[in-house]
Amino acid sequence: MLTNLQTRDVETLIHPYTNLHAIRSTGPLVLERGKGIWVYDTEGKAYIEGMAGLWCTALGYGNEELVETAREQMLKMPFTHLFGGKSHDPAIELAEKLKEMAPMQVSKVFFGCSGSDANDTQIKLIWYYNNAIGRPLKKKIIARLKGYHGVTIASASLTGLPNNHIDFDLPLPGMLHVSCPHHYRFGLPGETEEEYATRLAAELEEMILREGPDTVAAFIAEPVGGAGGVTVPPATYYEKIQAVLTKYDVLLIADEVICGFGRLGTPFGSQAMNMKPDTMTLAKAITSAYFPVSAVLIPEKMYAAMIDESKKIGVFAHGYTYSGHPVGAAIGVKTLEIYERDKIFEKAAAKIPAFWKRLDVLRDHPLVGEVRGKGLVAGLELVADKATKRAFDVKAAVGAKATMMLQEEGLIVRNLGDTIAVCPPLVITEEEIEDLFDRMARGLDRTEALVREHALRG
């Protein structure tokens, strides 16, 4: 029986990433407020937000400094923009801070409102750049199966998940995919991580040669894959991939939308994974999700080409109404200030052993085939048979059932198919980590009981 709010919801809202048929009978979980790592539903029940929302509320809920910053900026200047040569202090300051922090040479910063639009911008800038420097054919972008880069037409084309393409008439031509670098699922029997990485680099090189190196512009990768199932590339992967990219003059875009800002135990995921990107996409934790802000970090050679194109065409005709929104920018500046002042990244890194100590125990759980991840992000892949890695029948929806059990235990996580993702706010305490995994263990035990009761192993 749906509550009044739930009924109003299903009669009015389209929910992203939801089975629009099923939700009509189950209704949504309606959350009302949050504090620290906790969120509360309309009935007052408390949950640990084990996903930091959507991998984004790094500083947790109810951060008064961020709220006050938003309030002050709204009073002072709620909106002004960067079009036609206008500017404002918060956008300048946020760009300066990002340039300072970035682990690569950055010339300029372009702001957007979402990870998806930032990746669209990446593609447009790379096309613009290659046109400017006289390489009009060098336009194809290579992404990876199970990679996640967003849902706009171009970024969904980069995303390597079938559901983002089926019946949306995607991917666009010129958006290609190589294999997902996930050893547990796709490594060959007896193949070491290094050998697997060598094979993946050879696959990339073959694709570039097959397509023609003068047609391939860029390769995009999340340092550690998130929404595609929390996949950690095998040892030596990026070194080998980057050697191929350099050989054929193909740019590397690091999609740091999840990994950026301390998630993997380093300020940026690229540092943890030994990636040397040419450009970077940032979003989510740039404001700890208190305002929708994304950013593209642009190197000098691309900026120089953009200046030439602007001179030729008369204008750089790209940008969103809310590019560099002053409230978002002010919150971004304050968020980065808090990260630095309160040593949030260092403190998060210090909590990684406690997080993994509990995850390591779950490796022995009868449902768990693999526990993978890095830093404060992990995925637990639930399997029908641990020894053979046999997956559950998709129709059994074991991942979704586990998520519901965990929700009943007061833990919000997300199932990516049958992989349960965990990505708590960086400010989680060690005590709260224990609480989170106590709930996780109870929920998985109940899921195991359900699997047995309904003979879901087939």
Stretch that binds ligand PLP, among 76-84, 109-117, 133-141, 420-428 (CB under 6 A): 109-117
CB 422 within 8 A of CB 452: no
CB 237 within 8 A of CB 262: no
Closest approach, Cβ 23 to ligand PLP, in A, equals: 19
Q: How far apart are CA 59 and CA 143, in angstroms?
A: 30
CB 377 within 8 A of CB 224: yes
Q: Among 377, 379, 103, which Cα is nearest to 252's?
A: 103
Q: How far apart are CA 135 and CA 266, in angstroms?
A: 36
Stretch that binds ligand PLP, among 86-94, 143-151, 335-343, 447-455 (CB under 6 A): 143-151
Q: How far apart are CA 350 and CA 37, in angstroms?
A: 18
List the strands of the sheet with 411-412, edge to edge.
Answer: 31-35, 38-41, 46-49, 411-412
Q: Is 422 in the site for ligand PLP (CB under 6 A)?
A: no
Closest approach, Cβ 333 to ligand PLP, in A, equals: 20
Q: How far apart are CA 354 and CA 369, in angstroms?
A: 21
CB 258 within 8 A of CB 232: no
Q: Is 370 in the site for ligand PLP (CB under 6 A)?
A: no
Beta bridge partners of 416: 419
Give, as ranges, the residues between 36 and 55 that touch ligand PLP (CB under 6 A): 54
Ramachandran sector of residue 433 (left: φ over 0; alpha: ψ -120 to 50; beta: rest):
alpha
Stretch that binds ligand PLP, among 34-42, 219-227, 402-410, 449-457 (CB under 6 A): 219-227
Q: Among 92, 88, 56, which Cα is nearest to 73's?
A: 88
- Our CB check for ligand PLP shows the closer of 57 and 447 to be 57
Q: How far apart are CA 218 and CA 198, in angstroms?
A: 20
The bridge status of strand 279-282 relative to strand 251-255 is: parallel
Give, as ranges, the residues between 54 and 83 that touch ligand PLP (CB under 6 A): 54
Give, as ranges, the residues between 254 and 313 that touch ligand PLP (CB under 6 A): 255, 257-258, 283
- Our CB check for ligand PLP shows the closer of 50 and 150 to be 150
Q: Which of 69, 114, 236, 415 binds ligand PLP (CB under 6 A)?
A: 114
- Our CB check for ligand PLP shows the closer of 257 and 285 to be 257
Closest approach, Cβ 259 to ligand PLP, in A, equals: 8
Q: Which of 57, 69, 73, 116 binds ligand PLP (CB under 6 A)?
A: 116
Q: Which residue is nearest to ligand PLP (CB)?
A: 115
Closest approach, Cβ 50 to ligand PLP, in A, equals: 16
- Our CB check for ligand PLP shows the closer of 237 and 392 to be 237
Closest approach, Cβ 112 to ligand PLP, in A, equals: 9
Q: Which of 139, 149, 263, 325 binds ligand PLP (CB under 6 A)?
A: 149
- Our CB check for ligand PLP shows the closer of 117 and 370 to be 117
Closest approach, Cβ 123 to ligand PLP, in A, equals: 13
Give, as ranges, the residues between 310 and 369 that touch ligand PLP (CB under 6 A): none
User: DSSP letter at 241?
Assistant: H
- Our CB check for ligand PLP shows the closer of 144 and 365 to be 144
Closest approach, Cβ 219 to ligand PLP, in A, equals: 14
User: DSSP letter at 394?
Assistant: G
Amino acid at 94: L
Q: Is 227 in the site for ligand PLP (CB under 6 A)?
A: yes
Closest approach, Cβ 83 to ligand PLP, in A, equals: 22
> Would you tell me the crossing angle of helices 398-408 and 430-453 to the nearest 10 degrees?
130
CB 246 within 8 A of CB 359: no
Q: Among 300, 299, 327, which Cα is nearest to 113's?
A: 327
CB 344 within 8 A of CB 351: no
Q: How many residues bind ligand PLP (CB under 6 A)?
A: 15
Closest approach, Cβ 413 to ligand PLP, in A, equals: 15
Q: Is 226 in the site for ligand PLP (CB under 6 A)?
A: yes
User: DSSP letter at 298?
Assistant: E
- Our CB check for ligand PLP shows the closer of 293 and 433 to be 293
- Our CB check for ligand PLP shows the closer of 335 and 447 to be 335
**Beta strand ranges found along 68-155 (DSSP E):** 108-112, 140-144
Stretch that binds ligand PLP, among 96-104, 146-154, 354-362, 418-426 (CB under 6 A): 146-154
Beta bridge partners of 381: 370, 419
- Our CB check for ligand PLP shows the closer of 396 and 426 to be 426
Chain centre to alpha carbon of residue 400: 20
Binding site for ligand PLP (CB under 6 A): 54, 114-116, 119, 148-150, 222, 226-227, 255, 257-258, 283
